[in-house]
Chains A and B, each alone.
Chain A
Amino acid sequence: MRFLGFLLRRIVGIAAVMIGVSVITFAISHIIPADPVAAALGDHATDAQIAQFRAEYHLDRPLPEQYFIYATGILHGDLGKSIRTRRSVADDLADSFPATLELSFAALLISIVLGVPAGVWSAVSRGRLPDYVVRVLSLAGGSLPVFWLGLIVIGLFYYQLGWFPGGGRLDTFVPPPPTRTGLYVLDSIFAGNLEALRSSLVHLVLPAITLGYFSTALVARMTRSSMLDVLGQDYMRTARAKGLREPVIVLRHALRNALIPTITIIGLTFGSLLSGAVLTETIFSWPGLGRYATASAVSLDFPAVLGVTLLAAVVYPVANLVVDVAYYWLDPRIQHG
């Protein structure tokens, strides 16, 4: 019962925030002075065609009514029609979201796989060279523009060295695996298609490293600082006094507790990965949400911009909710206490 109450409150909270997000984005999209319709139809559109187009997109109605039409549409899963692509925004999003999801997961994976050990190593060798190296690299991670890093990575690893491909999700002549999730790596595994698996993994490397550098740095710093906290605490001294070897101490006691704030950070960075994806996808010709958002914003395609913003704003709270729910079920202490 308590669980239901908790769940309901969270869902209501998310819904309230979504309404706020939609109202604000709607307001922003409609203060544009120029008319996106005339632009979408091109230089030679007749006035009649423009009027027909406007009626189709409800642009001839007053603003509150447009918002109402839009809001009720969302409840049916209809996010409107994109002015630029003339397709349903929901379809456009369904096409581009999996690509961004795959890239974000890959970046997140890299952050953890590289960031946590780096942070641990840095904490354990505090004050010595490895510590400084990790700290400088982490500092750089939070300070360099992701698009600049992407240019350098492509220039170096694709153009100069030729180690990795320079864009897209698959090699030119490798057809994508049958769509089940839209994540090529997973779909290749489901279909048992090794060629597609290899190709999609290889294409993920450079963009994931670029996108993930920022969060890797963050994870490393967080791990380092919480490790340092933990390493200096009383029960650690007790463990050492008991004669346990240092590596055992580090791994079994320190790491577990140090990971708590790190996990929180991972959740937070997932949201910022969506932002970073905008620039990374542009550079790596990655057909995801970020590139779609950019193209939509440039053409004043506000139904599409609204759709992207809503989707992006809902992903993080929902993901967090899912994890919290699972955590709630799995951790008896929360259930009873």
Chain B
Amino acid sequence: MTYRRSSILFVIALLVAAACSQPPPSGSSQTPQTTGGAASTLVWYADTSDLISLDPAVAYEFTGVLLTHNAYETLVKFEGADLATIKPALAQSWDIKDSTSQWDITFKLRSGAKFASGNAITADDVVYSFQRVLKLNKSPAFLFTDIAQIKESSIKASDPSTVVISLPKTASPQGFLAVLTFTIGSVVDSKDVKAKETGGDSGSGYLLDHSSGSGAFVIDHWTKNSEVQLKANPNYTGSPKPALGGVLVKHVPESTNQQFALEKGDADIARNLGAQQITALQGKQGVVTTTGNSLQLVYVGMNVTVKPLDNVNVREALRTAIDYDGIVKDLFKGGAKKVQGIVPAGLAGYNESTPFQADVNKAKSLLQQAGQTAITLELLVPTGPAPGGVAWADLAAKLQSDWKNIGVTVNIKQTTQADLLGTYRAQKGQLVMILWGPDFPDPDANVGPFTDYAAKSIAFRNGWDDKTIAAKGRDAALITDAAKRSAAYKEITDYVLHNGPYVVLYQPTEPFGLRSNVKGFVWSPMDWTDFAAISK
């Protein structure tokens, strides 16, 4: 009689489970087809908790961008990791015309280009794709509305294989081309998507977890919080044709698990390894490590509305006190690049100058000049790992001890990144340690935010309203001559180096672990890779 209770519990649970069960849905993405076997599918382990949507007009987080990049094609592209030259993709050629009141860019589409569905790619598809970005107005839309300043009427199809896009004179055509290499410029199959639109969502519900593009791969299924499966596109008309049969991106947030799986051969590539995992993997059988460059910068923002940070000597002293070499060598084991300017290496306008390295005496004398010898400040730090795989807290502890050497007491306050951004945006931080990544591969994507108070971005958050340098930054964005532009940016970055409210610490490199039989993997600083180039 008494053990009945437990057996009742189980029987009831089973009955309830069976009663709640639904018949398997027919032909939906719940029942994925066979994955084509282990031999030709690349297994990619990563923390994919940022994945919200695979719709190119919506995707703005790392994982979404990586997957969308491989399922769609854009008009123009960068090849591999080279961000200096814009290459043709769906557009075989383009022409920028200065029409006095505006810029007109004419794109001629590649002949014979097809979608995965078999439909031909026409100018109407391009128009539809770009217009829906503006209609949906999601996170990446600002690239079209604010940077390129285009409207729905700016995009026209002059014939089935020609698209003309008009930009106002205040926008930069080179910048727009760079924007178009990003996933926001993906061309979707308008015939397919229009048929799947519901309730005026421009097909966003469908494209959330399906692809309708012309990329080397198609989205096979997305099991939420678990995995995304890509399969090779048999109708791919671009090049190179994919060597893999498919890619399986599995959600494994713990970097230790990624390391174990890589060693055991369960994973082919591990995305989120830390510096210590990389060290642990050296010399292990069947495993190699490699790095990719990123365009991110890790920096400390100093709020100039908080005394004594309004004094330029104090800021310079804080910059001078830090042991940058120690950070790169000891904390990151060389997995970071010493960069102190606001434009990262890899972009035009990069300034190699790194004048700062721990000089306690110089820093102290600067403080004395400013008449400040006992300063106490609060450093806001996110929780978790910083880019490059070292904990934010460890980085903060290093800064704290470096600043202690010159008599500045810094109290560390850790909050979640969400919380920190909120405080930072409200200009309520004192010292804020955070990262920044440019939205498109153009120096203006950094210089604008870092110098222009009116852009309500980084300069705004630190209360730095320097109208002269802001104007210089805006002018430099519109210069078309490469040499002149370079010179302009050198002047700007030199100025910010010594006068701005920033302590740029390093530019991270992204470490990856791979099985040694994986070939062709190249990580682009745009935070993606071309799966089509990989074989195993």
Direct interface between A and B, CB < 8 A:
yes
Q: Would B52 and A263 count as touching, CB distance under 8 A?
A: no
Stretch at the interface among A2-10, A35-43, A237-245: A35-43
**A152 contacts partner chain B, Cβ-Cβ < 8 Å:** no
**A323 contacts partner chain B, Cβ-Cβ < 8 Å:** yes
Q: Would A298 and B418 count as touching, CB distance under 8 A?
A: yes
Q: Which of B18, B33, B416 contacts A181 (CB 8 A)?
A: B18
**Chain B stretch 413-447: residues in CB contact (< 8 A) with chain A:** 415-423, 425, 436, 439
State in angstroms the CA–CA spacing of A85 and B225 once bound together.
10
**Chain A stretch 285-314: residues in CB contact (< 8 A) with chain B:** 285, 287, 291-292, 295, 298-300
Q: Would A40 and B22 count as touching, CB distance under 8 A?
A: no
Give the number of chain A interface residues (Cβ < 8 Å): 72
Instruction: List 30 contacting pairs A-B, 8 Å CB cutoff, sorted by A.
Output: A34-B418, A43-B436, A45-B142, A46-B142, A46-B146, A49-B138, A49-B139, A84-B52, A154-B257, A158-B260, A158-B264, A166-B257, A166-B260, A167-B254, A168-B252, A172-B43, A172-B266, A186-B14, A186-B17, A256-B3, A259-B3, A259-B6, A260-B2, A287-B224, A287-B226, A291-B225, A295-B49, A300-B416, A319-B9, A331-B1
Q: Would A166 and B416 count as touching, CB distance under 8 A?
A: no
State in angstroms the CA–CA spacing of A237 and B352 once bound together.
90
For A33, what are the chain B residues with a Cβ–Cβ distance below 8 Å?
Answer: 419, 422
**B20 contacts partner chain A, Cβ-Cβ < 8 Å:** yes
**A257 contacts partner chain B, Cβ-Cβ < 8 Å:** yes
Q: Would A154 and B8 count as touching, CB distance under 8 A?
A: no
Measured CB to CB, the nearest residue on chain B to A284 is B257
Q: Would A283 and B6 count as touching, CB distance under 8 A?
A: no
State in angstroms the CA–CA spacing of A85 and B416 once bound together.
17
Interface of B is mostly: mixed
**Chain A stretch 172-195: residues in CB contact (< 8 A) with chain B:** 172-173, 175-176, 178-181, 183, 186, 190-191
State in angstroms the CA–CA spacing of A4 and B439 once bound together.
63
State in angstroms the CA–CA spacing of A165 and B265 once bound together.
12
**Chain B stretch 379-424: residues in CB contact (< 8 A) with chain A:** 383, 415-423
Closest chain B CB from A39 CB (angstroms):
3
Measured CB to CB, the nearest residue on chain A to B30 is A179
Known: A39-B418, A299-B416, A300-B416. A285 touches B254 (CB 8 A): yes
Q: Would A45 and B139 count as touching, CB distance under 8 A?
A: yes
Stretch at the interface among B34-42, B162-170, B502-510: B34-42
Known: A166-B260, A178-B31, A285-B257. A323 touches B225 (CB 8 A): no
Closest chain A CB from B460 CB (angstroms):
12
State in angstroms the CA–CA spacing of A43 and B383 once bound together.
17
Q: Would B21 and A180 count as touching, CB distance under 8 A?
A: yes
**B217 contacts partner chain A, Cβ-Cβ < 8 Å:** no
Closest chain A CB from B421 CB (angstroms):
5
State in angstroms the CA–CA spacing of A319 and B8 once bound together.
11
Measured CB to CB, the nearest residue on chain A to B35 is A173
Q: Give a binary string over B9-24; 1 marks a CB under 8 Å from any A CB, 0 the rest.
A: 1001110111011111
**A132 contacts partner chain B, Cβ-Cβ < 8 Å:** no
Q: Would A44 and B439 count as touching, CB distance under 8 A?
A: yes
For A330, what are the chain B residues with a Cβ–Cβ distance below 8 Å?
Answer: 4, 8
Q: Would B418 and A300 count as touching, CB distance under 8 A?
A: yes
For A327, what are the chain B residues with a Cβ–Cβ distance below 8 Å?
Answer: 4-5, 8
For A217, what are the chain B residues with a Cβ–Cβ distance below 8 Å?
Answer: none
Closest chain A CB from B146 CB (angstroms):
7
**B176 contacts partner chain A, Cβ-Cβ < 8 Å:** no
For B266, what are the chain A residues with a Cβ–Cβ distance below 8 Å?
Answer: 165-166, 172
